[in-house]
Amino acid sequence: MSIFQLGENLVFPDPRLAEPEGLLAFGGDLEPERILMAYKMGIFPWFSDNQPILWWSPDPRMVLFPEQFHISKTLRRRLRSKKFTVEFDRNFSEIIQYCAITPRHGEQGTWITDEMIEAYHKLHLLGFAHCVSVSIAGKLVGGLYGISIGKGFFGESMFSLEKDVSKIGFAYLAGVLNNWGFDIIDCQLPTDHLKTLGAVKIDRTAFLNMLSQITQNPTRQGNWREKAKIEIDNIVF
């Protein structure tokens, strides 16, 4: 199979033509219209500073159905302790910067380049990109961000400055999205960490079939902070 080169035209090849590891295309740009089209087709950008823009559609795909989020006994105790504050869309720029600079086990460097930060900040201002922050005593200690289209949320990255804090943010994300009728959280690539939270692997064809349905629904566009706060205050773990 060939890796497709994108030009100025707003098109993508069929994601089923991706290489075995998921690489589909390179080039193009990171303008909001192209990124949103990519997500609707099951494609996402993922590249490092020394690479061109790379577009991926892996098979299998890791997904989490919001109502199936798994809460361990330890996590449930932490959630019930209420020693933290969870907010949506409060500090997107800070969240994505922390995701970019926070070291991860087994990883060197970051794929969240300055170009990616600028692109997702634009999407946040347009009401498509959202974040969840977790604070303790007023200090930001964890969070995550992603894209919302239709009844799907496409997770991008998360970070923790204290043990398991990103799980707290993820638990509230799943709870709020479930209450809002979201069908799926796309986790992109399989990891053991996501598996412990209830995420499962599905084949790309099944994932694309889901996308064709859920992305036809109206998008909950705009800032989620106030409406999510109502849900957060009423979620019981």
Nearest to 178, CA basis, from 235, 129, 127: 235
- Asked if residue 180 lies in contact with residue 36, where contact means CB atoms within 8 angstroms, the answer is no
Mean pLDDT of 125-154: 98
Look-up: residue for tokens 């990255």?
A: 157
Q: What is the pLDDT of residues 207-228, one digit of tens each?
A: 999 999 999 999 999 999 999 9
- Asked if residue 27 lies in contact with residue 52, where contact means CB atoms within 8 angstroms, the answer is yes
pTM of structure: 0.96
Which sequence spans correspond to the domains of the chain?
A: 4-59, 62-234
Amino acid (one-letter) located at 205: T
Mean pLDDT of 163-167: 91
Residues in the chain: 237
Q: Which CATH architecture has domain 62-234?
A: 3-Layer(aba) Sandwich (3.40)
Residue 55 has pLDDT above 70, yes or no: yes
Q: What is the pLDDT of residues 70-125, one digit of tens each?
A: 999 999 999 999 899 999 999 999 999 999 999 765 454 468 999 999 999 999 99
What's the rounded Cα separation, in Å, for the pair 17 and 36? 19
CATH number belonging to domain 4-59:
3.30.70.3550
- Asked if residue 71 lies in contact with residue 171, where contact means CB atoms within 8 angstroms, the answer is yes
The pLDDT of residue 111: 81
